[in-house]
Amino acid sequence: MPGLTQPYVGRAEPVATAGEERVRLQDVCIVHGRGDSAVVAVEGADLEVGAREIVSIVGHSGCGKSTILRAIAGLLPNASVQGDLSVMGRTPEEARKSGLISMVFQEAVLAPWRTVEKNVTLPVEVARGRTRKPTRTASEQLELVGLGGYEKRYPKQLSGGQRQRVSLARALMMEPEVLLMDEPFGALDEITRDEMHTELLRIWENTHVSIVLVTHSITEAIFLSDRVVVMSSYPGRVADTIPVDFPRPRRNELKDSREFAAISQRIRLCLEKNR
């Protein structure tokens, strides 16, 4: 697996894993509501994410890809999730309580009344040592995401790309095993997005985190991932899983290569077939 030979920036004590699987979904169905107003968002979804893997989920709007992320994060009511869903061999709720999961959203959702540094340390403040102690300080974390020296700024003083970097630093602060990203670069312009792609990979190389990424951009999915999961809609099902074997580290030129275009075409065809 490419990337496995990269050095970890270690955590104090490694978390015991059930095999190499960080996230495992088997026959997962997600139903919102009950009775006549019930909506089946996801039906029979299977997904496995290994250690330090990056897996993307692409699909039409409303195919339930964000819902899957929220289910993995344990943010959905228990009653609405059926089937086997585990994170590090635990239920999402247990995994969340152990601080194993973080999430990044389309918007940076920073607290405007807190400085950049205070935003990054928010999860630490909230956890109050109940989960685990971070090994990196906020400054080191900001250094990692390329925002060294921005500690005392306020979110309003940053650009969209910089805010998303802060959001990433905050998500990595508790050193999660699984990072869930819900269209994290969707609100950025294309030039910034390209830059953030290589940045995300660089940051990921320096951590031990597995990433599940939901995106609308096929290019983004291929460039970042080890595997791309294509979903069909109504109800959401996994239509195909496409492996992406480009060596890492990957550079932006890769996006213009023939092999890249071939995978892109395969995904596009799959999406068209599964409207």
Binding mask 170-199 for another protein (x = CB under 8 A): xx--x-------------------------
Q: How far is the CB of 51 from another protein (least distance, A)?
A: 20
Q: Which residues contact 121 (CB under 8 A, 6 or more apart)?
A: 138, 173
Toward another protein, which CB reaches closer, 87 or 203? 87
Toward another protein, which CB reaches closer, 110 or 142? 110
Toward another protein, which CB reaches closer, 179 or 270? 179
Q: What angle do CA 108, 112, 114 make, to 5 degrees?
A: 105
Q: How far is the CB of 181 from another protein (least distance, A)?
A: 12
Toward another protein, which CB reaches closer, 113 or 272? 113
Among 32, 29, 5, 43, which residue's Cα sits nearest to residue 234? 43
Q: How far is the CB of 76 from another protein (least distance, A)?
A: 11
Toward another protein, which CB reaches closer, 125 or 253? 125
User: 224: number of CA atoms within 13 Å, CB side?
Assistant: 34
Toward another protein, which CB reaches closer, 59 or 155? 155
| 135 lies in the binding site for another protein (CB under 8 A) | no
Binding mask 55-94 for another protein (x = CB under 8 A): ---------------x--x-x-------------------
DSSP for 46-62? EEEEETT-EEEEEESTT
| 127 lies in the binding site for another protein (CB under 8 A) | yes
The phi, psi pair for 153, rounded to 5°, reads: -75, 165
How many residues at the interface with another protein, by CB under 8 A? Answer: 28
* Contact by Cβ (8 Å): 137, 145: no
Binding mask 93-122 for another protein (x = CB under 8 A): ---xx-x-xxx-x-x-x-xxx--------x
| 15 lies in the binding site for another protein (CB under 8 A) | no
* Contact by Cβ (8 Å): 80, 32: yes
| 215: its two tokens | 């995106």
Q: How far is the CB of 258 from another protein (least distance, A)?
A: 36
H/E run at residue 126? helix 122-127
Distance of CA 76 to the CA centre of its chain: 17
User: 188: number of CA atoms within 13 Å, CB side?
Assistant: 24
What does DSSP assign to residue 8?
P
* Contact by Cβ (8 Å): 238, 188: no
Distance of CA 58 to the CA centre of its chain: 13
Among 156, 243, 253, 262, binds another protein (CB under 8 A): 156
Q: Which residues bind another protein (CB under 8 A)?
A: 70, 73, 75, 96-97, 99, 101-103, 105, 107, 109, 111-113, 122-123, 125-127, 130-131, 154, 156-157, 170-171, 174
